[in-house]
Amino acid sequence: MLREYDTSAIAEEQEFLDRATDRRDRLAGRLLAELAEEAGDAVERARQRMLRAQHEELRRASEGLVFGRIDATDGTVRHIGRVGLRAEEEGAEPVLLDWRAAAARPFYTATPVDPQGQARRRHIRTTGSVVLGVDDEPLDGAAGSGLVGEGALLAALGQRRTGRMSTAIATLQREQDDIIRAGASGPLIVQGGPGTGKTVVALHRVAYLLFTHQQMADQAVLVLGPSGRFLDYIAQVLPALGETAVVSATCDTLLPGVLVERPESRRLAEIKGRAVWQQALERYVAALLPRPRDLRLRWEGEFTVIPEPAVAQALTSAVQGRPYHRARSVFADQLHRLLAEAIAEQREALLEEMEQGYEDILARFDRSNGVDGSGAVDGQLSEEDIEELADRIAADPAIGRFVEAFWPTREPGRLLRDLLCDPALLAAFVPSLSPDEIAAVAAEPGGWSSGDIALLDAAADLLGDHADAPDRGRAAAPGGELVADRARRQRDWVYGHVVIDEAQELSEMQWQMVLRRCPSRSVTAVGDIDQAEAAHRHTSWAQAVRAAFGDRWTAAELTICYRTPREVMDLTGPVLAKAGSGNAPPRAVRASGIEPWQLTVTPGELAGAAQRAVRELRDRWAGGTVGVVAPAARADGLREVLAGVPVLTAAQAKGLEWDATLLVDPDGIAAEPRGWNGLYVALTRCTQELGQVILT
């Protein structure tokens, strides 16, 4: 393997980096010049949005512009980078291959056993516009470690953590790349233990799909994470990869304008997460639809009756699987038409009555006016007359009040609250709940809890908006507005793809939230079923996704632990067994050389001991990060004495990583609900050093 001191290789790559940087700057300059021109019509404005996105992508590629190279056996050399750079000459090979391009894939997947036509892979380490070093990996059929770019990978893993996730496009491994580039036509469920790069895979898959499938960029991609802290941690990754058509949220923040206002017990969270609520809410909303009856309406002082059979037909035609308010709108249109036709028939009948007995007079009148009279007066309204009358009826406030009384508009929150607070309604529409469960739900205080959000979303979807447009949520954003900004504000936006991190935590009702936003089921869900801490009872992916996908989903697995050192992973086997898992921990690829240590103290000594331990860890890992994980009952007290250091429960720490972790009272974590799963999470947050404080 070529080392950093081989100055000829560094000089060679420095020359190429200089050329690529110059090319990038010239392309960016051309884009700026075009953007300075005045935008005219809608087509030109759309083109400018595309140019602006291209310029932003080039601007962000200043760091890590070039990071790799593959040399084919036929002598072809291709450099791999953050973005693609086309050559000056028409039809010439690109100066730089985008890492997402198909031609760049051997950089991630070629091995000595399967070289894919490649003779060598080179990782290029840079800072800004300077090449620091190179690592060459021959692909000549010799046995290897199975890691792609092992030197570059291990160097990256050994770097200090900053508290923000960074891109990993230079060090993606083959099993990760296979998932990143997998098809997106249906649900893909990725199982991966701690440190296997689940989040890296999920986010880089977003970038790959947006690069490969333009329609996804037009519709945006939704990224669901477990917490706001986690979303802050990953916030820089996708913008650094040049992607803006992305909405990041948690299940609690997915419903615009609705906030979680209070905590709830695990028992109630489990009850409200069950799939039975979807059908229960459907039945409840269906029960609120009006029933057919004669409708007596007043128009211009006269009463007209629309008979029950006509009303029944209009109701049946209006519902047809539509949301409540959309069906109401369709019914109102039909009622206006029915009333207009009934009024027209009444007028015709009245004229016919007036005509009887006056035939001779009418005939003489017609002859005196030169008309070949038949004695009949044409009182029929034309189709245009009836349409005009229906429009006038629709605009009449009194008719509007009548429709509102017959088929009232409803607010999702009030509708859901009425159901949840009424034991009789709960027993009628959610019969699978036990009397104790019904009493617990009905006794909850006001304000929304986390478990209510998915129910509220289902209710809002079943009701629909008051002015529900059939194609809403599918059109591209107008003007200069980013598609993600529009999608974020709109409850019923239809996304091109959904990526879920820590997907094992989703309840069955939260999976329904996902499906409503992506009915195509183009979903990538990554997680570790053994790290599940949510209140639901799922212990396998088949159980977790059955209500949403049935058996129609594809499984994939990440088996190698890159983050957590071998010394720590050796502790996890017994914890997994006590959690009831049949899975083996992922294989750690590196050792930190630091054995996990323990400190035993009394509860009274805990505060001082934790302060000293954190201070020592921060000194040892200066420039990096230190985190503390503790049971929920001790977290608040530790936050008061450990200023400047994140103190989290195991659930809050999920998905995060630090150079060093101080694990306080592991027995206390294990005693919590699903505590062995939580302890598995807590043990595996560090990249270098783990210390444990044991209480006696």
Q: Look at strands 77-81 and 66-72 and give their pairing.
A: antiparallel
- Stated as kind and residue range, the H or E segment containing 546 is helix 541-549
Q: How many helices (H) and strands (E) does the chain have?
A: 30, 20
Q: Does the annotation list 578 as a binding residue? A: no
Q: Taking the CA atoms of the chain, what radius of gyration do you get in angstroms?
A: 33
The phi and psi torsions of 435 (rounded to 5 degrees) equal: -55, -40
Q: What is the DSSP string of 437-496?
A: HHHHHHT--SS--HHHHHHHHHHHHHH--TT--TTTT-SPPPTT--HHHHHHH-TT---S
Which of 18, 170, 20 lies closest to 86 in space, CA to CA?
A: 20
Q: Report the b/e string of 644-669 with b at 16+ CB within 10 A.
A: ebbbbbbbbbbbbbbbbbbbbbbebb
321 is in an annotated binding site: no
197 has binding-site annotation:
yes
At 616, is the secondary structure helix, strand, or coil?
helix
Question: How far apart are the C-alpha atoms of 547 and 544, rounded to whole Å?
Answer: 8
* The pair of three-digit structure tokens given for residue 324, joined into one six-digit string: 């409540």
Residue 272, annotated as binding a ligand = no
Q: Which two tokens stand for residue 512?
A: 């329904």
Residue 198 marked as a ligand binder = yes
d(CA 522, CA 419) in angstroms, rounded, equals: 33
194 known ligand binder: yes
In contact, 503 and 189? CB cutoff 8 Å: yes
Report CA-CA distances (Å) from 626 to 581, 615, 645: 29, 10, 7
Helices of type H across 570-657: 572-578, 606-620, 632-641, 650-653
Q: Is 196 annotated as a binding residue?
A: yes
On whether 64 is known to bind a ligand per the annotation, the reply is: no
Structural contact between residues 148 and 173, judged by C-beta atoms closer than 8 angstroms = yes
Tokens describing residue 239: 């913008």
Annotated binding site for ATP: 192-199
User: Which positions make up the binding site?
Assistant: 192-199
